[in-house]
Structure 1
């Protein structure tokens, strides 16, 4: 049983990817981080000596504090956050324990430089359909919950990227790291390059996104449904950010289906009260 105000790596892994997941702060020292420069998905590094400076930004949202080994630094920072009325727990075993459990870690070197507010900034073509909604969902749920997305005319992506130090994605061009590769879509590439293949549900979701995005809905039955929903959303919303907000819920639902509900069926008899008979059943 976990100690008070602590959470196991396995339980945290179940929470990551959900819209209600706690924010994760990485309390490792520079020396510790240099030995393993990877982050728990969604984590952001903070200085353990300055919790009073950054605690207010959480606004009561739950936080998990991860030190190198889960020791006293994490307990101290979590206690400080709690006295600031921020629900906080420490991660048992810290980042080392997470890694020892074989859970996914995101290489820091793969992430864009953060802006003055600590956010990653991304830019892509306006009027998104599939990949350009799926990738922002992936980034916000597994990489940077505060990530910023700029949707601009295709001809302006490069200029906007340069002016705002934003990272282009799902666009063509030399030197673009985050785009299609062969028969794989950008979502596929991000799942692999960001070290997230350790989440089986994400790998299953990637196949659905690939089928919907690359014109091959026959790959899996769900791809045709995702394509239909994506095209419908693109016609419902003239504003790309409003479309992204609506699309986040679609991918939240698909991820939970991939993780928890692929074996569940829906039929009339499965929703009957115990002992009731389906209509027309004469037995």
Structure 2
């Protein structure tokens, strides 16, 4: 049984990657983080030394505090967050228990530098279709919830990356880490590079994205549907950021299907109230 004001690991696993998942705050000491510089997917580092300054910014949110073993540091941070207006819990067992259970962890070394507000900043070509919507979804749901995305003219990506400290993705060029690799699309590369390949729903979703993005709808049947949705979105929105916001819902739905509903089929008869089917065929 979990302690008071804590959340079991298996419950947090189910919440990660979902649209309404909690904010996950890694409050480990610098020494503890240096000993294991990895993060629970979607977690953000916060120092408890200045918790009085940043706790109010999480008021009204669901928050999970994570320390090394789930004791005084995370429980104290969760208590402080609650008095600042958050619905906050500590992760039962902390990072040690999460790692022991074999759940995915994002290496800090895989993350690009952050800006002055602690956000990762990314840049890619304007007018996104598949990969350039799928990858931002992946980053915001599993890597950095506050990530910033810049969509610019293709020939300006390198210059914007240099001037604004942004990380380019889904573009060609020397030294580009986050782009296609052989038959794999950028989404594939990110799932692996961020240490998320252990999440089976994501690896299933990666097949759909790969098929849609590389004109191989034969990989999985859903790829053809994703192509249609992606092209439709690109014609509905002239603003790339508005398109990204709308696309987030599509990938949220696809992720939940990959996680929970691949074996389910739609049968309208099965959803009728009891007795309504017989009534419908009665002369």
**Contact 2:58–2:81, Cα closer than 8 Å, also in 1:** no
* 1:231-250 mapped onto 2 (5 Å cutoff): 231-250=231-250
Specify the alignment match of 1:229 in structure 2. 229
CA deviations 1:187-223 (Å, max 9, x no partner) are 0000011000121100000000000000001111100
Give unpaired runs (5+ residues) of structure 2.
none
What SS is found at the alignment partner of 2:25?
Answer: strand
CA deviations 1:15-48 (Å, max 9, x no partner) are 0001111111111111111111100001111112
Specify the alignment match of 2:37 in structure 1. 37
CA distance in 1, matches of 2:179, 2:117: 26
What SS is found at the alignment partner of 1:89?
Answer: strand
**Contact 1:268–1:278, Cα closer than 8 Å, also in 2:** no
CA distance in 1, matches of 2:50, 2:94: 19
CA distance in 1, matches of 2:260, 2:278: 27
Question: How many pairs align?
Answer: 283
Q: State the superposition RMSD in angstroms.
A: 1.4
* 1:1-283 mapped onto 2 (5 Å cutoff): 1-277=1-277
CA distance in 1, matches of 2:252, 2:278: 33
What SS is found at the alignment partner of 2:277?
Answer: coil
**Contact 1:191–1:197, Cα closer than 8 Å, also in 2:** yes
**Contact 1:130–1:227, Cα closer than 8 Å, also in 2:** yes
CA distance in 1, matches of 2:278, 2:238: 45
**Contact 2:18–2:141, Cα closer than 8 Å, also in 1:** yes
CA distance in 2, matches of 1:59, 1:170: 36
- How far apart are residue 268 of structure 1 and its match? 2.5
CA distance in 2, matches of 1:38, 1:124: 26
What SS is found at the alignment partner of 1:149?
Answer: strand
- How far apart are residue 278 of structure 1 and its match? 6.0
CA distance in 1, matches of 2:21, 2:45: 17
**Contact 2:28–2:73, Cα closer than 8 Å, also in 1:** no
**Contact 1:140–1:147, Cα closer than 8 Å, also in 2:** yes
**Contact 2:133–2:244, Cα closer than 8 Å, also in 1:** yes
Q: Normalising by the residue count of structure 2, what TM-score does the alignment of the two structures yield?
A: 0.97
**Contact 2:191–2:202, Cα closer than 8 Å, also in 1:** yes
What SS is found at the alignment partner of 2:32?
Answer: helix
**Contact 1:269–1:278, Cα closer than 8 Å, also in 2:** no
What SS is found at the alignment partner of 2:150?
Answer: strand
- How far apart are residue 56 of structure 1 and its match? 2.0
Q: Normalising by the residue count of structure 1, what TM-score does the alignment of the two structures yield?
A: 0.97
CA gap 1:29/1:221 in 2 versus in 1, 3 angstroms: same
